[in-house]
Structure 1
Amino acid sequence: MSLEAFNQNLLSFLAQSPTPFHATAEMANALKATGFNQLFENETWQLKPQQGYFVTRNDSSIIAFTTGSENYTQQGFRMVGAHTDSPCLKVMPNAERYQQGYFQLGLEVYGGVLLAPWFDRDLSLAGRVSYTSKSGKLKSKLINFEKPIGIIPSLAIHLDREANNNRSINPQKDIPVILGQLPKDKTNVRQLLLEQLHQQGAEDAAKVLDYDMVCYDTQLPGYIGLNQEFIASARLDNLLSCYTGMAALLTAYQQDQQQPMLLVCNDHEEVGSLSACGANGPFLKSTLERIVSTGEPLTVCLENSLMISADNAHGIHPNYADKHESNHGPKLNEGPVIKVNANQRYATTSETSALFRWVCDEVNVPVQTFVSRADMACGSTIGPITAGEVGVRTLDVGAPTFAMHSIRELAGSQDAYALCKALSYFMQLQQLPHQ
Structure 2
Amino acid sequence: MPPLDTDAYIADFADFIQASPTSYHAAAEVARRLEEAGFERLDESAEWPATPGRRVIVRDGAVMAWAQPPSADATTPFRILGAHTDSPSFKLKPNPTSNSEGVLQAGVEVYGGPLINSWLDRELELAGRVATADGATHLVRTGPMLRIPQLAIHLDREVNSKGLTLDKQRHTQPIWGAAGDLDENADLLAVALSGVGIAPDEIAGHDLLLADTQAPARFGLADAFFAAGRMDNLSSVYAGLAALLAAPDDAAHLSVLAAFDHEELGSESRSGASGPVLEDVLVRVSTALGAGEIDRRRAFAQSWILSSDAGHAVHPNYSERHDPGNRPVLGGGPLLKLNASQRYASDAVGSALWTGVCRRAGVPTQAFVSNNAIPCGSTIGPLAATRLGIRTVDVGVPLLSMHSARELAHVDDLVALGAAVSEFFASA
TM-score by length of 1: 0.93
- Say whether the 8 Å CA contact 1:259–1:429 is kept in structure 2: no
Aligned counterpart for 1:419 among listed residues 405, 408, 417: 417
**TM superposition shift of 1:140:** 1.5
**Residue 155 (structure 1) aligned with residue 143 (structure 2):** no
| C-alpha distance in 2 between matches for 1:356 and 1:7 | 23
**TM superposition shift of 1:4:** 0.9
Structure 1 residues not aligned, in runs of 5+: 431-435
Match of 1:55 in 2: 57
Aligned counterpart for 1:298 among listed residues 296, 304, 317: 296
Q: 1:355-394 maps to which residues of 2 (within 5 A)?
A: 355-394=353-392
Match of 1:111 in 2: 112
- Say whether the 8 Å CA contact 1:274–1:281 is kept in structure 2: yes
Match of 1:277 in 2: 271
TM-score by length of 2: 0.95
- Say whether the 8 Å CA contact 1:256–1:428 is kept in structure 2: no
- Say whether the 8 Å CA contact 1:83–1:238 is kept in structure 2: yes
| C-alpha distance in 2 between matches for 1:370 and 1:317 | 13
Structure 2 residues not aligned, in runs of 5+: none
**TM superposition shift of 1:239:** 0.6
| C-alpha distance in 2 between matches for 1:225 and 1:397 | 26
**TM superposition shift of 1:295:** 1.1
**TM superposition shift of 1:344:** 0.4
> 1:240-298, CA deviations, whole angstroms, 9 ceiling, x for partnerless residues?
11001110111124x64653110100000000000001000011111111011351111
| C-alpha distance in 2 between matches for 1:243 and 1:26 | 10
**TM superposition shift of 1:69:** 2.9
- Say whether the 8 Å CA contact 2:82–2:257 is kept in structure 1: yes
**TM superposition shift of 1:2:** 1.2
- Say whether the 8 Å CA contact 1:280–1:386 is kept in structure 2: yes
| C-alpha distance in 1 between matches for 2:178 and 2:154 | 24
Aligned counterpart for 1:395 among listed residues 390, 393, 396: 393
- Say whether the 8 Å CA contact 1:98–1:104 is kept in structure 2: yes
- Say whether the 8 Å CA contact 2:67–2:247 is kept in structure 1: no
Aligned counterpart for 1:173 among listed residues 170, 174, 177: 170
Match of 1:433 in 2: none
Greater Cα shift, 10-19 or 184-193: 184-193
Could you say what secondary structure the match of 2:283 adopts? helix
| C-alpha distance in 1 between matches for 2:86 and 2:71 | 32
Could you say what secondary structure the match of 1:299 adopts? helix
**Structure 2 CA distance for partners of 1:73 and 1:367, relative to 1, 3 Å:** farther
- Say whether the 8 Å CA contact 1:193–1:208 is kept in structure 2: no
Counterpart residue identity of residue 315, structure 2 = H
**Residue 25 (structure 1) aligned with residue 20 (structure 2):** no
Could you say what secondary structure the match of 2:415 adopts? helix
> 1:93-123, CA deviations, whole angstroms, 9 ceiling, x for partnerless residues?
1211110111100110000111011111111
Q: 1:154-303 maps to which residues of 2 (within 5 A)?
A: 154-164=150-160, 165-182=162-179, 183=182, 185-198=184-197, 207-253=202-248, 256=250, 259-293=253-287, 294-303=292-301
| C-alpha distance in 2 between matches for 1:256 and 1:156 | 61
Greater Cα shift, 359-368 or 376-385: 359-368
- Say whether the 8 Å CA contact 2:127–2:209 is kept in structure 1: yes
| C-alpha distance in 1 between matches for 2:340 and 2:422 | 28
**TM superposition shift of 1:429:** 2.2
| C-alpha distance in 2 between matches for 1:171 and 1:184 | 29
- Say whether the 8 Å CA contact 2:118–2:404 is kept in structure 1: yes
| C-alpha distance in 2 between matches for 1:5 and 1:47 | 35
| C-alpha distance in 1 between matches for 2:74 and 2:135 | 42
Aligned counterpart for 2:427 among listed residues 426, 429, 433: 429
Counterpart residue identity of residue 195, structure 1 = S
**TM superposition shift of 1:167:** 2.7
State the identity as a percent.
Answer: 39
Greater Cα shift, 340-349 or 351-360: 351-360
| C-alpha distance in 1 between matches for 2:189 and 2:367 | 48
| C-alpha distance in 2 between matches for 1:215 and 1:186 | 23
Following superposition, which runs of at least 4 residues in structure 1 exceed 2 angstroms of deviation? 69-75, 182-186, 255-259
Counterpart residue identity of residue 37, structure 2 = T
| C-alpha distance in 2 between matches for 1:10 and 1:116 | 26
Counterpart residue identity of residue 54, structure 2 = G
